[in-house]
C-alpha cells in the first residue's frame, strides 16, 4: 500500500531518488535544496539505499562526478539551486551532448546579485539551452512524481537526455504537504533497472566517450540532441499515460483549468499555478471569463499544446518568475515563437511577477487582469510585457 | 575474451562508427590510433647509429609512445608510423647513438 504522509518537497525529492534507486549520488549543499542530499545521505547511511554518496567540493564537481558515473553506465541523481546550478552550467552541456540520462532536482531560486535565496525560476530557465529536459512541479506530490517520470523519459532509448525537475524554493522545498509515497514494487515495475545501452564502462569492450568532434561532425551531434528533444515530446506523453495507469495521478504537458469558454487564459508554471487556480475560481464567481493553464514541461517546449490553448481564447497571458534581460520573459518568448506562423492567434501578454521570492498575491493577479482586459477591449497591445507587483514608490 | 555483461551489438556499433553518428558521439571502435598514424606530426626524426649502441634499452624505456621496440639482438627499432619526434630517446641515450635530424618529405 502506498504510504500517505506529510513532507517537504525536498524530502519528497529525496524519496523519489530513493525509490528510483540511483547507484551514484553526488551533491553539494546549497540553499534551499540542502535537505535533499541530507536526506539521501541518511538513506544511504541507514542502508535503505544501496548507492555511492559522493561528497564533493562544489556543484561543478557534483555534476562532473555524475557525468563520469552515468558514462560508466549507472543511474545517478543530484540536487541543486541558483548559483549552484549556474556553476554546473558548462558541464550541463556535456551531460546532454554525451546523452547521459542524469536526473537532477532543482529548488528553484533567484540568481545573484543581489544575493537572494528565495524563489523564482531564473536559475533553471537560464539553463534552457543546455539540452536538459525541464519539468516544473506545482506541489510536493508533483516534485516526487515528476522525478520518477524524469527518469522514465530520460532513460528511454528514443530520448537519452538529462532532465531537471524544479520546485519552488521555500514555497515548496520547506513547506510540509500531504504526499503519497508509492510502493517500491510499483516504482520498480514502472522504471525498471537502468540498462546502459550506449554509454558504459566495460573492460572487454573499450569505447571512447566525450571525444573531440571536428567541424565535419559537430553539427550532426548537436542535431541529434535537438532531434532527441523533439522525440521526447511523444515519450513524455507515453510516460504520463503509463504513470496515470500505475499510480492514478494524471499529468499533462499543459494542464488546463476552466479554459472552455475563457476570454483570457493565464499560463504559468510551478507553485504559482495553485494560486492562479484559486484566483480563477474567485474571478469566475465575480463573472469574469478567465481560465488558468499550468505548464508541467518547459523543455521540450509544448508547442502543439500551446497552439491548442491559443485557439480557445482571445488573450493568452503568461505569468512568469523570470526575465530575459533585453527582451521579455523566456516562457512568453518561447510561446510567441510557437504561435508565430498561426494564421489566427490571440493577444499575447507577458507578466513578470514574484522575482526573488515576492509573494504573488490576488491583488497582483487583479492588476494583470486589468491590463489583459484593457488589451482585450481595445484589441491592441502597446507593450506586451508588464512587471506586476512592483513597488513603484521605490523606483 | 570473456562475455560482456552489457547488451551491446558491437558489430552494429562498429558499422555505425564508419557510417553514421552514434548517440553522444561515442566511439565504439577502440584503437583508432591504428588508423591515425601519429608519426605524421613529426618535425625531427631519430636516426640510429648501431656502432655506438650499447643495448642499454634506455631509449626503449623512455619512449612515451611507445614507438621503439627491440629486435632479436636487443637493438632498438623505431616505428616511424608512431614516433612523434619528441627526441627523448636521443636525450636519454648515454652514448649519443641517436641523433635527431630534420624530417624531410
Query: Same domain for B98 and B50?
Result: yes
- The answer on B71 and B24 residing in a single domain is no
Residues A305-317, mean pLDDT to the nearest whole number: 96
Q: A208 CB near a chain B CB, below 8 Å? A: yes
Whether B14 is in a domain gets the answer yes
Grid cell for residue A214: 571536428
What's the pLDDT score for residue A84? 97
Asked if A94 reaches chain B (Cβ–Cβ under 8 Å), the answer is: no
| Domain assignment of residue A289, given as a range | 254-394
pLDDT of residue A211: 86
DSSP lists the bridge partners of residue B69 as: B77
For residue B83, give the nearest of B29, B30, B47, B31 by alpha carbon: B47
Interface of A with B in 223-242 (CB under 8 A): 224, 228
Domains: count for chain B = 2
Same-domain status, B86 and B53: yes
**Which among B6, B23, B27 is the nearest to A202, CB-wise?**
B6
If asked whether residues B94 and B53 sit together in one domain, one would say yes
Considering only CB atoms, B23 lies closest to which of A99, A195, A208, namely A99
pLDDT at B8: 53
Residues of B in contact with A160 (CB under 8 A): 23-24
8 Å CB contact between A303 and A338: yes
Please enumerate in sequence order all residues whose Cβ is within 8 A of that of A93, keeping only pairs 6 or more positions apart, or say none. A130, A131
pLDDT at position A218 over 60 = yes
Are A107 and A79 in contact, with CB atoms under 8 Å apart? Answer: yes
C-alpha distance from A17 to closest chain B C-alpha (Å): 24
Measure the CA angle with vertex A269, ends A266 and A272; round to 5°: 75
d(CA A37, CA A54): 10
A158 lies within 8 A of chain B by CB: no
Helices (H) and strands (E) in chain B, counts: 3, 4
**Contact between chains at A204 and B1 (C-beta distance less than 8 A):** yes
Q: Mean pLDDT throughout A339-365?
A: 96
Contact flag B26-A209 (C-beta cutoff 8 Å): yes
**B60 and B50 belong to one structural domain:** yes
Q: Residue B13: its chain A contacts at CB < 8 A?
A: 207
Taking one residue from A and the other from B, the number of pairs with CB-CB distance under 8 angstroms is 63
Question: Which of B12, B19, B26 is the mutation pick for testing A, counting most A CBs within 10 A?
Answer: B26
Mean pLDDT by 10 residues, chain B (105 residues): 51 61 80 68 92 94 91 92 93 96 84
Cβ–Cβ gap A208/B26 under 8 Å: yes
- Mean predicted lDDT score pLDDT of chain A: 96
* The pairing of beta strand A3-7 with beta strand A24-27: unpaired
The number of distinct structural domains making up chain A is 2
pLDDT at A278: 97
Within chain B, residue ranges assigned H as helices are 10-19, 58-62, 88-92
Residues A242-285: pLDDT tens digits?
A: 999 999 999 999 999 999 999 999 999 999 999 999 999 999 99
| C-beta atoms of A211 and B28 within 8 A | no
Contact B24 A97 (CB under 8 A): yes
The answer for residues whose C-beta is within 8 angstroms of residue A228's C-beta and 6 or more apart is A99, A158, A159, A160, A161, B23
- Which distant-in-sequence residues (6+ apart) come within 8 Å of A214 by Cβ? none
Closest among A2, A31, A6, A42 to A17, alpha carbons compared: A42
Per-residue pLDDT of A99-148, as tens digits, reads 999 999 999 999 999 999 999 999 999 999 999 999 999 999 999 999 99
Residues of B with CB under 8 A from a CB of A: 1-8, 10, 13, 21-28, 30, 32
The pLDDT score that the predictor gives to residue A260 is: 93
Cis check: omega of the bond before A62, within 30 degrees of 0: no
Neighbour tally for B102: CB within 10 Å = 9
d(CA B22, CA B16): 7
Regarding whether A361 and A233 lie in a shared domain, the answer is no
Residue A211: all three cell numbers together? 571525444
CA-CA-CA-CA dihedral for A55, A57, A61, A63, to nearest 10:
50
Does one domain contain both B94 and B62?
A: yes
Supply the pLDDT for residue B2: 45
Domain extent at residue B42: 37-104
What element of type H or E holds A180? strand A177-181
Residues A323 and A367 in one domain: yes
Considering the entire predicted model, what is its pTM? 0.86
CATH of the domain at B59: 3.30.70.20
Cell of A341: 506562423
A213 pLDDT band (50/70/90 cuts)?
Answer: confident
For residues B73 and B32, state if they share a domain: no
The residue from A247, A273, A305 where one domain ends is A247
Number of other CB atoms surrounding residue A250 within 10 Å: 10
What pLDDT was estimated at residue B65?
87
| β-strand pairing of A290-295 with A254-257 | antiparallel
Residue A205 with chain B: CB contacts under 8 Å: 4, 6, 8, 10, 28
Please confirm whether the linkage preceding A113 is cis (ω < 30° from 0): yes
For position A114, which CATH number holds?
3.40.50.970
Return the half-sphere exposure (C-beta side, CA atoms, 13 A cut-off) of residue A311. 7
Amino acid at each position: 500500500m502506498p504510504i500517505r504522509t506529510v513532507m517537504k518537497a525536498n524530502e519528497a525529492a529525496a524519496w523519489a531518488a530513493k525509490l528510483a534507486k540511483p547507484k551514484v549520488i553526488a551533491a553539494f549543499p546549497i540553499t534551499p535544496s540542502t535537505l535533499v542530499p541530507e536526506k539521501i545521505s541518511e538513506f544511504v547511511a541507514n542502508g535503505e539505499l544501496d548507492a555511492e554518496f559522493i561528497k564533493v567540493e562544489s556543484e561543478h564537481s557534483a555534476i562532473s562526478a555524475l557525468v563520469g558515473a552515468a558514462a560508466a553506465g549507472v543511474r545517478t541523481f543530484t540536487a541543486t539551486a541558483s548559483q549552484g546550478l549556474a556553476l554546473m552550467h558548462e558541464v550541463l552541456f556535456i551531460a546532454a551532448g554525451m546523452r547521459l540520462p542524469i536526473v537532477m532536482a532543482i529548488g528553484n531560486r533567484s540568481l545573484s546579485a543581489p544575493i537572494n535565496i528565495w524563489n523564482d525560476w531564473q536559475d533553471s530557465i537560464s539553463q534552457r539551452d543546455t539540452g536538459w529536459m525541464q519539468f516544473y512541479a506545482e506541489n510536493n506530490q508533483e516534485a516526487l512524481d515528476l522525478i520518477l517520470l524524469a527518469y522514465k523519459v530520460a532513460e528511454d532509448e528514443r530520448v537519452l537526455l538529462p532532465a531537471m525537475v524544479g520546485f519552488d524554493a521555500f514555497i515548496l522545498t520547506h513547506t510540509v504537504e500531504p504526499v503519497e509515497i508509492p510502493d517500491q514494487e510499483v516504482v520498480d515495475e514502472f522504471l525498471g533497472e537502468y540498462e546502459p545501452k550506449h554509454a558504459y564502462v566495460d573492460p572487454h569492450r573499450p569505447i571512447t566517450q566525450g571525444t573531440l568532434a571536428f567541424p565535419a561532425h559537430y553539427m550532426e551531434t548537436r542535431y541529434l540532441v535537438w532531434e532527441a528533444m523533439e522525440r521526447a515530446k511523444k515519450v513524455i506523453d507515453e510516460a504520463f499515460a503509463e504513470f496515470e495507469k500505475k499510480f492514478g495521478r494524471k499529468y499533462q504537458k499543459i494542464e488546463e483549468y476552466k479554459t472552455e469558454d475563457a476570454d483570457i487564459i493565464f499560463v504559468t508554471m510551478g507553485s504559482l499555478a495553485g494560486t492562479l487556480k484559486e484566483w480563477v475560481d474567485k474571478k469566475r464567481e465575480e463573472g469574469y471569463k478567465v481560465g488558468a493553464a499550468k505548464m508541467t514541461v518547459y523543455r521540450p517546449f509544448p508547442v502543439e499544446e500551446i497552439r491548442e490553448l491559443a485557439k480557445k481564447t482571445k488573450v493568452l497571458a503568461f505569468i512568469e518568475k523570470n526575465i530575459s534581460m533585453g527582451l521579455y520573459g523566456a516562457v512568453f518568448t518561447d510561446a510567441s515563437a510557437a504561435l508565430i506562423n498561426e494564421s489566427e492567434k490571440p493577444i499575447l501578454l507577458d507578466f513578470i511577477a514574484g522575482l526573488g521570492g515576492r509573494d504573488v498575491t490576488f491583488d497582483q493577479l487583479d492588476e494583470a487582469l486589468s491590463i489583459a482586459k484593457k488589451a482585450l477591449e481595445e484589441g491592441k497591445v502597446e507593450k506586451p510585457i508588464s512587471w506586476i507587483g512592483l513597488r513603484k514608490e521605490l523606483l | 575474451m570473456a562475455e560482456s555483461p552489457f547488451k551491446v551489438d558491437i558489430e552494429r556499433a562498429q558499422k555505425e562508427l564508419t557510417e553514421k553518428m552514434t548517440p553522444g558521439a561515442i566511439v565504439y571502435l577502440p584503437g583508432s590510433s591504428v588508423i591515425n598514424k601519429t608519426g605524421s606530426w613529426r618535425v625531427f626524426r631519430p636516426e640510429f647509429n648501431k656502432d655506438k649502441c650499447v643495448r642499454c634499452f634506455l631509449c626503449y624505456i623512455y619512449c612515451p609512445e611507445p614507438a621503439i621496440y627491440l629486435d632479436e639482438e636487443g637493438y632498438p627499432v623505431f616505428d616511424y608510423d608512431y614516433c612523434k619526434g619528441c627526441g627523448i630517446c636521443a636525450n636519454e641515450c648515454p652514448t649519443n647513438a641517436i641523433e635527431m635530424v630534420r624530417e624531410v618529405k
